[in-house]
Amino acid sequence: MKRAYKHNMMIDLETAAPEGLQGIYDAAKKGLLSCTVCGSPVSLYLGILEKPHLFHQNSKIDCLEPSISQKAETDERQEDESGFRLPKSRAIAAKVPEIDWKGAASISGNPAFMNTEKGLPASDLPYLNALSQSGVRLDSMQTKAVTSVDGPILVLSGAGSGKTRVLTVRTAYMIMECGIHANAIMLVTFTAKASKEMKERLLSYPGMDRARLTGLVSGTFHSIFYRILIYHEPIKWRKESLLKRDWEKEHILKTAGREKNLDEKEFAFDAALQQIGLWKNSLLLPDMVRPADDWERDCQFLYRKYEEYKELHHKYDFDDMLIGCYSLLKENPGILEFYQNRFSYFLIDEFQDVNKVQYELIKLLAGPKNHICAVGDDDQAIYSFRGSEPEYILRFEEDFPDARIVKLMNNYRSSHQIVATANRIIARNKNRRNKKMAALHDEAPPPVLFFPYDEEQEATMIVEDLKEKIANGARPGDFAILYRTHSMSRALFERLAQSNLPFVIDQDADSFYNRRIVKGMLAFLSLSINPEDPQAAADILPALFLKQNMLQQIKAQSILQDCTLLEAISLIKTGFSFQERKLAALPAGIKLLKDLSPAAALERIEKDLGYSDYIKKRGNEGSTAEKGSDDIRDLKVAARRFASIRELLDHAEHMRAMNAEVKKMSKHFQSAIQLTTIHRSKGLEYECVYMIGAVDGGIPHDYALDAYRKGDSKLLEEERRLLYVAATRAKKQLMISVPQTRRGKTALPSRFIKGLY
């Protein structure tokens, strides 16, 4: 069905513009569309694999809608009572051009499937045979990685290649087959969860028990090296001296920031804390930092003050555990020699994620024997913001000259079409080890690219596809929706919140409407309809370049002059005549907003009320991955769905509450759709993955493109690795969204997917 009535007006999908489809979908959800034949309610299908079409909400109704040409012929045959034909024009009805819907496309051009695994080889080693009989079998390259015990070895473990099995079997093999005592082995993981899982696997292997594993040092970098610190310097590294919570650390920075007049509401102290962590993990002390801009100069100042505070109050943070242990070993040759003798064999998981201080610690301890087994994949190095570098894998033979390289290239997770697509994506990176993954089955369709008009349509299409799959028997937990940054999840969160589908979101993903730039713009709208809103008055102060303590003066003026908080803003005295003139004119401008549509009001705030000036001066401070100007464009896209400012504000408040509720309820879901960033998805797998925003500016991110234009391709290559990681989370289905517009502007398909369809 292609046509329906809305308030007696004909809606024709053949001539509907792509940008109008979301509005038609929303109208149908509100029951505003009716069948042109029987008058019963109809809905719009706006999914991924089929063209948009209307259908009866009651599945038992099946009206046969006449085509336009049939209707024209019927009208031609109608005559009036005198026998004269009524004048009709066939051309007008029949010649309206049809709008071209950009349908989904399957990835094409992948090589044919070839099963390269010719059966798992039998082993002449007794313990590996015992493992095989218990169901733990290894392919030829896994066997080589397990049995190459002495000397340095780099195990290039591609996505889904069984690295956890290799690490645990290697540990068991060393103990059971080689007679190496467990207390000579250090097994380093990146998460406590991974460490626990490896111990549980080890205990399930033949002949292994807790007694044999006694003395095995297994855990994260922080947990292992913290144990060394508290053994040698228990007073300095007492647990009660640890700064555990971010708010504690941010409080120290905010106190120091007052010396430089850094406003708590304006300056991104959380991003500054992340920058300080990056410097520390790169072994850069405050005086060693070379700031690239004003932002980094402020961060360097805060870094120095932060370190001074900790030293004065005998405090330390998690990053200090590694730096402290590195200093302890470097400054005490006797202690270093003790641990070099204590540990003979080192197994390092996720080696591509190590940062400088972690790398230097392992090099210190492993020498001079260098019995180090590093397991990782340079194609999955995606944590440069934490100081990680693929270079440690790329130059492994330089630091360990006798190193052997073993490549685990069998992918046991994903179908051939997904693996082949991922290979084609990552092959374009230049700074990488040459390798290619091979799938062991070809039982799933090729990945699909689909082309929604914008973010709103993208969210609707994905949720409709999810409903269809779950209705056909899929589990909600089989699905993940991945995105480059949290800000990209706004429309999807809203659409899922309006559905009855169970879903979870990262605990640190705050509501889009709580973002600093968004809250500021919404505050203008709030004051336009409620001039006495104290929270809104506080939230607009940064945009007016006023400190938060000015709120008390505003409240005082409101009482003294018997006026609203909004009107009191015009009475503020700052000592700067230009600023005072702008404040005096502000209330009148804000009052005019309430009669505008939300989209028009936001445009007025940005251009006429000075918000763009605020963005230029303050909005882009902090993390380049979360730009303030992008938030404004996102908010404008969201605002187009609402007829009034009150509707938008109510929606924003509802979404804030829903965000908190979803986080609270997530632990009660046994199976739920996962909304998460690509970074958080690493190490996980799902039957079906939706990757959204595959356009230039989305992935690759804008800041990587900016760096590339300046001649630096390093960040662009990491962005490509991010897409590779996202693709290889999928086991059977990969759906990649390529919006035609992004944040209200025409978008170009991601350069990473060019040539795939």
> At 385, which amino acid appears?
F
H-helix segments, 8-96 = 21-29, 68-77, 90-94
Answer yes or no: are the C-beta atoms of 47 and 461 closer than 8 Å: yes
Mean pLDDT score, 93-122: 72
> Would you identify the CATH topology of the domain 513-650?
PCRA; domain 4 (1.10.486)
379: tokens are 């194609």
Q: What is the CATH number of domain 138-234+321-408?
A: 3.40.50.300
**DSSP-derived pairing of the beta strands 372-376 and 503-505:** unpaired
Whether the CA torsion 228, 232, 236, 240 is positive or negative: it is: positive
Tens of pLDDT, residues 42-65: 999 999 999 999 999 887 887 876
Q: Are 749 and 704 in contact (CB under 8 A)?
A: no
Phi, psi angles (nearest 5°) of residue 423: -60, -45
Instruction: For domain 243-315, say whether CATH 1.10.10 is its number.
Output: yes
Q: Which amino acid is at 675?
A: L
Q: What is the pLDDT at residue 116?
A: 66
Higher pLDDT, 3 or 66: 3
DSSP conformational letter for 65:
P
Using CA atoms, how far apart are residues 644 and 696, in angstroms rounded to an integer? 32
How far apart, in whole angstroms, are the C-alpha atoms of residue 521 and residue 539?
A: 9
pLDDT value of residue 598: 96
pLDDT score, position 82: 45
SS3 state at 639: helix
3-state secondary structure of 62: coil
Residue 171's pLDDT is 96
Q: Is the pLDDT of residue 732 over 80?
A: yes
Give percent of the chain above pLDDT 70: 93
Does pLDDT of 71 surpass 80? no
The full 3-state SS of 173-194, as one line of letters, equals HHHHCCCCCHHHEEEEECCHHH
Residue that is written with structure tokens 């408040």 in the block:
653
The tens digit of pLDDT for each residue in 690-710 reads 999 999 999 999 989 999 999
Closest CA to 390 of 591, 154, 601: 154
Please tell me the pTM assigned to this model. Answer: 0.89
State the DSSP H helix or E strand holding residue 741, giving kind and residue range, or none if neither: strand 741-742
Q: Could you write out the DSSP letters of every residue in 253-321?
A: HHHHHGGGT--TTTS-HHHHHHHHHHHHHTT--GGG---SSHHHHHHHHHHHHHHHHHHHHT-B-HHHH
The residue among 321, 307, 187 whose CA lies nearest residue 252 is: 307
> What are the domain boundaries of the chain?
3-101, 138-234+321-408, 243-315, 448-502+669-746, 513-650
pLDDT of residue 99: 55
* Confidence (pLDDT) at 264: 77
Question: Tokens representing 441?
Answer: 């089955």
CB 48 within 8 A of CB 462: yes
In the chain, the amino acid numbered 610 is G
DSSP state of 79: B
- 3-state SS of the chain: helix, strand, coil percent to 5? 50, 15, 35
Q: Pairing between strand 448-450 and 105-106?
A: antiparallel
- The pLDDT value recorded for residue 67 is 57
Residue 465 φ/ψ region, left for φ over 0, alpha for ψ in the -120 to 50 degree band, beta for the rest: alpha
Class of the 448-502+669-746 domain? alpha beta
* Residue 39: C-alpha distances to residues 22, 23, 589 (Å): 22, 20, 46
What pLDDT, in 10s, does the model give residues 480-530? Answer: 999 999 889 999 999 999 998 999 999 888 899 998 889 999 999 999 999
- Same-fold call for 138-234+321-408 versus 448-502+669-746: yes
The pLDDT tens digits for 409-435 are 999 999 999 999 999 999 999 999 999
What is the pLDDT of the chain when averaged over all its residues?
90
| Residue pLDDT, tens place only, 242-278 | 999 999 999 999 999 999 988 777 788 988 999 999 9
E strand spans, 394-522: 404-408, 410-411, 438-439, 448-450, 479-483, 503-505
737: Cβ–Cβ under 8 A, 6 or more apart, which residues?
449, 450, 451, 452, 458, 461, 462, 690, 691, 692, 693, 694
Residue 100 is given by DSSP the state P
pLDDT digits (tens, 9 = 90+) for 594-633: 999 999 999 999 999 988 888 877 654 444 545 555 888 8
Give me the pLDDT at residue 77, please: 43
For residue 601, give Cα distances in angstroms to 22, 352, 564, 607, 610: 21, 48, 21, 10, 13
Separation CA 310–CA 728 (nearest Å):
42
156: left (phi > 0), else alpha (psi -120 to 50), else beta? beta
- Find where tokens 């991974």 sit: 194
Q: And the tokens for 320?
A: 């200090």
Q: How far apart are CA 319 and CA 313, in angstroms?
A: 17
Length of the chain in terms of residues written:
757
pLDDT tens, 175-218?
Answer: 999 999 999 999 999 899 999 999 999 999 999 999 999 889 99
Closest by alpha carbon to 753, among 462, 430, 459, 421? 421
